[in-house]
């Protein structure tokens, strides 16, 4: 398979990618959300030249070649751009084989347990607990994630006492049988993270995400080795060398690669294989309802070391207005706390042509 063209359709928030091959196949993927209009510039200037016309049977080799040829530009934007082409190639592969991507990976379509993931810190503990209870009753969720501290907060809370109040409040309202997860988004020093972690352990929480600044692996390792609750992280990490340090050093109990931050499905699979070698589960980050959650559904259904659930954002149009109207039919229905991976070939979704018509278009050709 060789690429004849790479097209992008983008606005500030979302960037879809369509690849066409020399033999007439096409596939759809996506660059990472947020500043997608910038990311597609990187795609056409720094990724497309190294992928167009190349034989793609060894996709890992081609992706490594992109990073080598662009070695002066390590970091997030290049990987976010690579992800758009990678995920589109997987869609084309699935359509060529007449199979969903999950089957190409050795898994099977079907139901997948999800946890309801809150993105908000601007709600009171009572308000948060109430809306989670309504989601439990309406959709059958049995696992929920809330937010601790302030984002990259230097040990500060969103407001004084919020975290110490929300931890017991959510447990009391949802009851003893729910899995409860919490995300600190790089808020705490190690000592403060351990203090909060003890409270979480007392209230039966099971997942403590990114407690310390994500770039400071030593602080996170200290928290991980001190607490009994599972310490998790890795969503921001896009360098495979850094992932080796995280896995081999057992910095966290559960790894959380984001398929679009890390550079695509192929590179996320490499992280999962690293983790499997150390018996570490994978619970990926996928915090919105663009294609990233769909990619993650296929990924998780195929992993031997998959974590317990899929992250599923519960935020509506007042928080994520841009994630609506992307597809002709949403792939994200929730029934009895589960989403379903479709049997349709590729990613099994159709991009809304009206959205595409409103977007900014670019093309690179071999």
Short-list 66, 44, 37, 46, CA closest to 54: 66
Q: Mention every residue, 6+ apart, whose C-beta is less than 8 A from residue 11.
A: 36, 37, 322, 358, 359, 360
Rg of the chain over all Cα atoms, to the nearest angstrom? 20
The rounded distance, in Å, linking the Cα atoms of 219 and 191 is 9
The dihedral formed by the CA atoms of 227, 306, 56 and 84, expressed in degrees to the nearest 10 = -70
Overall size of the chain counted in residues = 366
Residue-level pLDDT at 265: 98
Q: Read off the pTM.
A: 0.97
What pLDDT shows up at residue 341?
98
Q: CA-CA distance, 208 to 178, in Å (whole number)?
A: 15
Cα–Cα distance, 14 to 202 (Å, whole number): 40
Q: Residue 186's pLDDT is what? A: 98
What is the dihedral sign for C-alpha 252, 181, 338, 319? Answer: negative
**What confidence score (pLDDT) does residue 328 get?**
98
Residue 44 pLDDT: 98
Q: What is the Cα–Cα distance from 356 to 361, expressed in whole angstroms?
A: 8
CA distances from 113 to 91, 100, 129, 171, 199 (A): 23, 19, 21, 20, 27
Q: Tens of pLDDT along the chain (366 residues)?
A: 999 999 999 999 999 999 999 999 999 999 999 999 999 999 999 999 999 999 999 999 999 999 999 999 999 999 999 999 999 999 999 999 999 999 999 999 999 999 999 999 999 999 999 999 999 999 999 999 999 999 999 999 999 999 999 999 999 999 999 999 999 999 999 999 999 999 999 999 999 999 999 999 999 999 999 999 999 999 999 999 999 999 999 999 999 999 999 999 999 999 999 999 999 999 999 999 999 999 999 999 999 999 999 999 999 999 999 999 999 999 999 999 999 999 999 999 999 999 999 999 999 999
Q: Residue 95: what pLDDT? A: 98
Token digits of residue 298: 């296929």
pLDDT at 170: 98
Distance in angstroms (rounded) separating the CA atoms of residues 248 and 256? 15
């Amino acid at each position: 398979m060789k690429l004849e063209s790479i097209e992008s359709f983008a606005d500030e928030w979302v960037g879809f990618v369509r690849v066409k091959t020399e033999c007439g196949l096409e596939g759809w993927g996506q660059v990472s959300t947020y500043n997608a209009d910038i990311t597609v510039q990187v795609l056409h200037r720094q990724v497309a030249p190294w992928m167009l016309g190349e034989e793609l049977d060894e996709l890992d080799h081609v992706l490594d070649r992109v990073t080598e040829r662009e070695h002066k530009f390590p970091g997030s934007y290049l990987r976010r751009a690579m992800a758009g082409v990678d995920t589109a190639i997987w869609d084309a592969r699935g359509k060529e084989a007449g199979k969903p991507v999950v089957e190409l990976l050795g898994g099977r379509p079907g139901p997948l347990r999800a946890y309801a993931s809150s993105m908000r810190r601007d709600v009171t503990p009572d308000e948060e607990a109430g809306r989670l209870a309504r989601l439990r009753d309406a959709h059958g969720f049995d696992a929920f994630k809330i937010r601790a501290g302030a984002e990259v907060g230097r040990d500060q809370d969103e407001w004084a006492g919020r975290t110490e109040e929300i931890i017991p409040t959510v447990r009391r309202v949802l009851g003893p049988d729910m899995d409860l997860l919490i995300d600190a988004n790089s808020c705490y020093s190690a000592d403060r993270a351990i203090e909060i972690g003890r409270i979480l352990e007392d209230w039966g929480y099971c997942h403590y995400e990114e407690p310390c600044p994500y770039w400071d692996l030593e602080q996170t390792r200290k928290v991980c080795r001190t607490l009994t609750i599972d310490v998790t992280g890795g969503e921001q990490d896009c360098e495979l060398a850094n992932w080796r340090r995280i896995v081999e050093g057992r910095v966290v109990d559960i790894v959380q690669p984001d398929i679009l931050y890390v550079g695509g499905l192929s590179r996320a699979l490499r992280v999962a294989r690293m983790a499997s070698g150390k018996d570490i589960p994978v619970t990926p980050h996928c915090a919105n309802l663009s294609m990233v959650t769909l990619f993650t559904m296929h990924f998780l259904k195929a992993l031997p070391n998959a974590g317990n659930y899929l992250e599923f954002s519960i935020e509506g149009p007042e928080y994520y207005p841009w994630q609506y109207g992307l597809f002709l039919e949403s792939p994200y229905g929730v029934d009895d706390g589960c989403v379903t991976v479709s049997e349709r070939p590729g990613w099994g979704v159709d991009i809304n042509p009206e959205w595409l018509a409103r977007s900014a278009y670019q093309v690179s050709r071999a």
